[in-house]
Amino acid sequence: MTSTVDGAPVVLKLERITKRFGALTANDDVSLDLHRGEILALLGENGAGKTTLMNILFGHYVADEGTVAVAGTNGTLKELEPGSPHAALNAGIGMVHQHFTLAENLTALENILLGTEPLSSFSSARGKARKHLGDLMQRSGLTVDLNARISSLSVGEKQRVEILKALYRDARVLVLDEPTAVLTPQESDTLFATLKKLASDGLGIIFISHKLDEVLAASDRIGVLRGGRKVADQPTAGCDKRQLAELMVGKSVPESTRTPQQPGAALLVLSQVTTGTGRDALHAVDLELLSGEILGIAGVSGNGQGTLAKVISGLEAPISGTVSLNGKQLTRSSARGMIDAGIARIPEDRHRDGIVGPMSVAENLAIETIRKPENQRFGFLRFDAIAARAKEAITAYDIRCQGGNAPARLLSGGNIQKIVLARTLDSDPIVVLAAQPSRGLDVGATADVHRRLLEARSRGAGVILISEDLDELMRLSDRIAVIHRGHLSSAERTENLDRGTLGMRMAGHSEEQAA
């Protein structure tokens, strides 16, 4: 596959891009070529500078040094005006962000046309646009109902609208930021098939990812960024997973694996739990978590796993059904109540729910236990004790920071997650709820999270692992249940499941599959 690309003209040339944020060099002398008809995967850990590079390309940031050049319609490279998304769009660069930039209350057609129509002659152009889009859909295989409101579309369909939007603007270069993060495995396969088709029609495609499997499966060439520098740029053929992982991290990463272990008694039991209304609400959810097991919850984002986490975190009370721990019903549904009952909660959005950014690392480590005697006396904080325990936790959990007094917001995502792990796991909880615990984390930090969860398991705690990453779920979980539209399937042993089955269930085909 690579050979077909070699001779193709360059459509995008990033030359010696350097970008600094204060002391941090986010991109360090990065050069990159993209050829016509090529799929380039940009691989790197979080914080490696992938997104920064793409933001420079798209004009959101201005590079301190270096240039971006794009091929015009006649094929000659022309330097792009820095710092102007408008110029990037005009030069034929289309970007599909991880978080879609669609107006939910407009139709797919309106979203695609948004910003392309002159204010006069509003109605007359629609027919032509519709025809043009029809051609595009037929050629690319990206079919969507143009008249459907965005709010009624699935995530995969929304993504198709985003891609169509870029194609409609005559994109010659398409950039996708973590495109599979929100898709089922089947949807991902469809997406990659589409991308290959688009590439064969001459589109240059860059997709950003940290998932090694899909990078190997779907790209022609792989560029690896590490610490802002480009450490590899090679054809995909001939790459293997282990080698790429090492390139990404700079060292070999031991993968945590689960050792067989006999689960114990039931710890946390949800019985017929139902919450309010909406797509994310739970419907009569039954769940039984055993001691010494990791119970995986698979599902496409937005199918109720967020609500499930809220219920177990004590942030949302079910309108019916019961939650019990060790056979005792938990009546007081509050975060405090759950913490005191011995449930450790790792929130899905660690920046929003996990830390108070402006407060110090030490304060964030103490926040759940601030009223406990070890942290206060007569309502006054015991600074020495808090600082001492922070120092221990920073060492024990290898939190990389400038000390306990540094504001937590300055830490990287992985280190913020370590703060959350340290404060929740340190008290030897009975139950651990880990919601998307490795989302957005790099390989090293992910391995660390996995190790901690497995440690809790071997200690006899029950772990609920909510994740959208099937590889993670299958590697760590003893049993996996699938959540779809608020219904939770019964958990099955991981040995008896495969990706295909799980993918079908995640898309809501459980009955047919089970039959």
Residues lying near another protein in the complex (CB under 8 A) are found at: 21-22, 62, 69, 78-79, 81-84, 87, 313-315, 334-336, 338-340, 345, 347, 352-359, 363, 367-368, 370-371, 375-376, 379-381, 383, 407, 410
- The secondary structure of 266-289, three-state, reads EEEEEEEEECCCCCCCCCCEEEEE
Minimum CB distance to another protein smaller for 223 or for 437? 437
Distance of CA 119 to CAs 89, 116, 147, 249, Å? Answer: 19, 9, 21, 50
Please, what is the minimum distance in Å from the beta carbon of residue 428 to another protein?
17
Enter the tokens of residue 389: 């325990």
Distance of CA 239 to CAs 177, 213, 214, 217, 478, Å? Answer: 22, 11, 13, 11, 31
Enter the tokens of residue 99: 């978080």
Minimum CB distance to another protein smaller for 266 or for 335? 335
Minimum CB distance to another protein smaller for 326 or for 375? 375
Sign of CA dihedral 95, 98, 99, 103: positive
Distance of CA 376 to CAs 23, 81, 357, 379, 382, Å? Answer: 37, 57, 22, 6, 5
Minimum CB distance to another protein smaller for 8 or for 359? 359
Minimum CB distance to another protein smaller for 199 or for 425? 425
What is the rounded distance in angstroms from the CA atom of residue 165 to the CA atom of residue 158? 10
Please, what is the minimum distance in Å from the beta carbon of residue 427 to another protein?
12
> What is the Cβ-side half-sphere exposure of residue 382, based on CA atoms within 13 angstroms?
16
Please, what is the minimum distance in Å from the beta carbon of residue 71 to another protein?
13
Place of tokens 């959208």: 468
The secondary structure of residue 360, as a DSSP letter, is B
What is the rounded distance in angstroms from the CA atom of residue 134 to the CA atom of residue 36? 24
Minimum CB distance to another protein smaller for 37 or for 314? 314
Minimum CB distance to another protein smaller for 48 or for 435? 435
Minimum CB distance to another protein smaller for 266 or for 359? 359
What is the rounded distance in angstroms from the CA atom of residue 143 to the CA atom of residue 133? 10
Coil, helix or strand at residue 383: helix
Minimum CB distance to another protein smaller for 148 or for 315? 315
| Angular region, 428: left φ>0, alpha ψ -120 to 50, beta rest | left
| Angular region, 232: left φ>0, alpha ψ -120 to 50, beta rest | beta
Largest CA distance in the chain: 76
**CB of 215 within 8 A of CB of 192?**
no
Minimum CB distance to another protein smaller for 103 or for 410? 410
Pairing of strands 39-44, 221-226: parallel
**CB of 462 within 8 A of CB of 432?**
yes
Minimum CB distance to another protein smaller for 357 or for 460? 357
φ, ψ for residue 160 (rounded to 5)?
-60, -40
